[in-house]
Amino acid sequence: MHNRTEVLIVGAGPTGLVMALWLTRQGIKVRITDRAEHSATTSRALAVHARTLELYRQLDLGDRLVSLGHPLGATNVWTQGVHRFRVPFGHFGTGLTPYPYILIVPQDAHEHLLEERLKEMGVEVERNQELVDFAETDGGVVARFRKPQAQISPEPNDAENGLQTSEAAYIVGCDGAHSIVRRAADIDFAGETYGQIFFVADVEGQGPAINGEGHVQLDGEVTFLTLAYDSKRHARLVGNVDGKQLARIQANKDMSDVKFEDIAVAAPAMRHMMQIDKVNWFATYRVHHRVAENFRNGRAFLVGDAAHIHSPVGGQGMNTGIGDAINLAWKMAAVLHSRADVSLLDTYETERRAFALTLVETTDSAFTKLAARGWLANLVRCYIIPFFVKIAVQFGFIRQRIFFGLSQIKLQYHKSPLSAGIAGSVRGGDRLPWVSDGETDNFVPLKEITWQVHVYGEVLTELAEWCQVKNVPLHQFKWNAQYGQAGLARNAAYLIRPDMYVAVAEVLGKPERFDSYLRDFELDIE
């Protein structure tokens, strides 16, 4: 069987599905495959952050996902099985985004929504297809697939081995931490493995820590977090346990033999926080913190967990992978439509690998502090951290900073070659600030995956003519104080990229800088 497409996507988790959706929406022919025979049936990644929901508005998915999920309104801090305080962070992002909360959605429901939308657009996931390898040719790549259970004999004949061949201009690895695309592209995946054992369970129960909110238990040999994904009885329990402590409790069990009951014994505080009536799903695993040496090798690209993995602190993994996919999708579409030089694809690694390195560093630092053992570390977690956090969240600027850190709305590309200028406090490479007048907001035009110009105030005639000639949408917003408070400059012009980031901030509102920018990158945005 021989297949030809423009972009071959390996892996149909949220990252791969988003990659396929955004490319298809931009008129690119894709093929998406997955090794699994069926789509996900467990909740796995739960947290969906504000920036992801903002980007999802481009395909009218943001509000639909919200309708499937449970906004997390608060988290509660516990030590020694005693409730210490409640942090109502559900309002921390108010005025900053249309989604000022953390949305909890089981990954199976999330993936189902994405896959259904992809089907509506005429693309079906090809399941039970395992990538064997691929080779780069002058004009693209040739990949070979097999059924996962099939055995390959030394006989070189592909047909006799049941191998299928697929050709594409580019191949994108969305196939997770054990990425075959990464291995076939010979890209190093440097990093380390945490010593602690992580666990995850979907539970049904009752009690003070199963009440529709988040709960974190900080002290003892087991640190864990409970996230409700409805307001009733269902919750996700995630945490880590020191391997030596678990070994003392469970004797000579292998990690694969660990049961939820072993974790419960190791965490006596759990009994004070909740009564678990049913465990629907439980697993233990090791966590690595690694970043690929490159996110691209020739015509092969790595996205999501194939490119970077880290501690689950903050629920950043899936959201970062989705951001990777949307960043790459508009650039790949521009190149395939001959509207940009192929060098534009180099900026994917420049922008996203820099963020991945920062993310791994910050999550690693946070996890190391949370998982540290010993009387001093326990003192810090039990008393010092709760004391300072309880005081700190009383201040608005700290609440906003916490939300910025979690939601990824402050993620910026200031050092990218694609970023230029500053107008007000908004720089090229920033996410466009969100401003609402109560009825509508300035993100409505961003639903179109296209280049566009925003002006907050008066539009110069020469700029209006430039936009008309270039066939670039121009959106004018009547000036009010809210725009200034958000950091936008009156009468300035902002050239917005297809992924909702500011490309050029031009304080004088003139088009000349836009022209030079487009020449520099050989971009045709008409």
User: What are 246-297's pLDDT values in tens digits?
Assistant: 555 555 556 667 788 888 777 788 888 899 999 988 988 777 789 999 999 9
Three-state DSSP state, 280: strand
d(CA 302, CA 324): 9
d(CA 440, CA 406): 25
Three-state DSSP state, 442: coil
To the nearest whole number, what is the mean pLDDT of the chain? 87
> Strands (DSSP E) along 286-334, which ranges?
288-292, 296-297, 300-302, 308-309
Strand duo 2-4 + 164-168: pairing = parallel
pLDDT (0 to 100) of residue 254: 61
pLDDT (0 to 100) of residue 352: 96
Structural domains for the chain: 2-67+105-191+289-358 (3.50.50.60), 70-100+195-286+373-410 (3.30.9.10), 420-520 (3.40.30.120)
Residues 6+ apart with CB under 8 A from 31: 3, 5, 7, 8, 9, 126, 166, 168
d(CA 238, CA 367): 13
d(CA 463, CA 461): 5
pLDDT (0 to 100) of residue 176: 92
Closest to 422 (Cα-Cα) out of 480, 497, 349, 504:
504
| Kind plus residue range of the DSSP H or E element containing 55 | helix 50-56
d(CA 487, CA 427): 10
Closest to 47 (Cα-Cα) out of 176, 275, 200:
200
Ranges of residues in the chain whose predicted pLDDT is under 70: 1-2, 40-43, 150-161, 220-221, 242-256, 313-314, 363-383
State the pTM of this model: 0.91
